[in-house]
């Protein structure tokens, strides 16, 4: 299938249920039903899964990362290979994160000025400068269906002056990104402001003035209390144009996604299903299952009786635990496969509930069954 990347996104709201929205997002590589969850394929691979398995999960769009792909294999190499989708064997839409978050969290950060973010590679220590213009150029070279503005993303707990400066710089950079982009590049702005409600509002308003194809809320889901997250989202959403997709970056747990859909969010991404799958925690309709637990050593049950994934069709908890205990790669793979499917079923159920005007009832029934369990044991990162 050859698709020419010359279409700006079309977004239509099919149905609303209070503030929850059922939408259709038409992108150059295909159509995405929203609210959607985008599995994370940071370095051009949703960890442990083949592209065919990601398609099988029901995912219609994935997230890749500008910072990582810029360092390895290099964006010009990917461009020469025909673009990111072709390079990684994924024929559906891709959203690329701008790399702002990674510059702050992974790289040895040397200096941020209004010009851009100068950093040292976490791979080899080489020095690089990300400007708003370069970040747009990279994402256009990758052929991203949705590109993100370069933003300054400080920790949620920063002081007001730091948050204020980050908001100002994020707005300045968004304007430069917007000027630099090709007309057909689907560039999303990123609202910052840490946990200061008025700064969030300032940030949202200045980005909306740029009339971008979509808007994200960044700098949340980084460790702050959930009610703070929801409070910030609840204040920002009403300021965003109703006809543009809204993306809450980095959320999250099923309960967070449900809360954010209720506030009017359309798009989500998070490393939880993949990272927790790799480290031995499964999401199930009854809550989280830490599969290494010795209670599962003789458990003949499947992970989740409500699930239709390959893992839940053929493997007992006892076998899955065995794979983790002996260190077989198939364990992380089978749990990731399940978790990614779990998140897609979650979104399918959310969409079906909004469709029939029953989102509140559905979500309280879901949350009645779903008990958040033990935290994952590992601390591996895939951002």
The residue (of 45 and 131) whose beta carbon lies closer to a second copy is 45
How many Cα atoms sit within 13 Å of 323 on the Cβ side? 19
Write the interaction track for a second copy spanning residues 331-360; mark x where CB under 8 A is met and - where it is not: -xxx--------------------------
Q: Does 72 bind a second copy (CB under 8 A)?
A: yes
Indicate the pairing of strand 108-112 with strand 117-120.
Answer: antiparallel
Question: At closest approach, how far in Å is the CB of 316 from a second copy?
Answer: 7
326 binds a second copy (CB under 8 A): yes
Locate 284 and state its tokens: 């199930």
Does residue 68 touch a second copy according to CB under 8 A? yes
Q: How far is CA 37 from CA 104, 212, 248, 253, 254, in A?
A: 24, 21, 10, 11, 10
CB of 40 to a second copy, least distance (A): 12
Percentage helix, strand, coil for the chain under 3-state DSSP, each rounded to 5: 40, 20, 40
Is the bond leading into 252 cis (omega within 30 degrees of zero)? yes
Of 7-15, 75-83, 227-235, 346-354, which segment contacts a second copy by CB under 8 A?
75-83
Handedness of CA 375, 105, 107, 83 (dihedral sign): positive
Cis peptide preceding 35, ω within 30 of 0: yes
Min dist CB 82 to a second copy, Å, is 8
Span near a second copy by CB under 8 A; candidates 2-10, 208-216, 284-292, 294-302: 294-302
Catalytic residue annotation: 97, 269
Kindly give the pairing relationship between strand 214-217 and strand 246-248.
parallel
3 binds a second copy (CB under 8 A): no
* Minimum distance of a second copy from residue 151's CB (angstroms): 24
Contact footprint for a second copy (CB under 8 A) = 43-45, 47-52, 68, 72-73, 77, 80-81, 87-89, 297-298, 300, 310, 314-316, 318-319, 321-323, 325-326, 328-330, 332-334
């Amino acid at each position: 299938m050859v698709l020419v990347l010359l279409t700006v996104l079309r977004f239509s709201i099919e149905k609303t249920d209070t503030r929850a929205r059922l939408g259709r997002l038409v992108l150059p590589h295909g159509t995405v039903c929203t609210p959607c969850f985008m599995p994370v394929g940071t370095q051009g691979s949703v960890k442990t899964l083949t592209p065919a398995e990601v398609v099988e999960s029901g995912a219609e769009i994935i997230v890749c990362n500008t910072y990582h792909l810029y360092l390895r294999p290099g964006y010009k190499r990917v461009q020469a290979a025909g673009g990111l989708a072709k390079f990684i064997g994924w024929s559906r839409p891709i959203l690329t994160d701008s790399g702002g978050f990674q510059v702050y969290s992974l790289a040895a950060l040397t200096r941020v000025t209004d010009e851009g973010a100068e950093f040292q590679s976490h791979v080899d220590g080489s020095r690089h400068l990300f400007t708003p213009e370069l970040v747009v150029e990279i994402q256009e070279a990758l052929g991203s269906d949705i590109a993100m503005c370069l933003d300054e993303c400080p920790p949620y707990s920063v002081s007001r002056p730091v948050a204020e400066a980050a908001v100002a710089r994020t707005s300045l950079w968004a304007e430069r990104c917007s000027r630099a982009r090709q007309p057909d590049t689907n560039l999303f702005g990123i609202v910052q402001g840490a946990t200061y409600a008025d700064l969030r509002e300032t940030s949202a308003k200045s980005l909306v003035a740029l009339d971008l194809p979509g808007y994200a809320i960044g700098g949340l889901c980084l460790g702050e209390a959930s009610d703070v997250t929801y409070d910030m989202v609840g204040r920002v959403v009403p300021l965003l144009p109703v006809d543009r997709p809204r993306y809450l970056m980095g959320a999250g747990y099923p309960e967070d996604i449900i809360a954010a859909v209720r506030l009017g969010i359309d798009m989500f991404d998070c490393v939880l299903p993949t990272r927790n799958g790799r480290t031995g925690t499964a999401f199930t309709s009854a809550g989280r299952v830490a599969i290494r637990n010795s209670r599962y050593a003789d458990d003949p049950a499947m992970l989740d009786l409500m699930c239709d994934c390959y893992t839940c069709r053929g493997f007992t908890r006892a076998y899955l635990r065995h794979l983790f205990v002996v260190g077989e790669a198939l364990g992380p793979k089978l749990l990731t496969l399940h978790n990614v499917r779990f998140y897609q079923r979650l979104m399918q159920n959310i969409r079906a509930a909004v469709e029939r005007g029953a989102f509140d009832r559905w979500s309280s029934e879901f949350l009645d069954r779903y008990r958040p369990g033990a935290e994952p044991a590992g601390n591996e990162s895939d951002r």
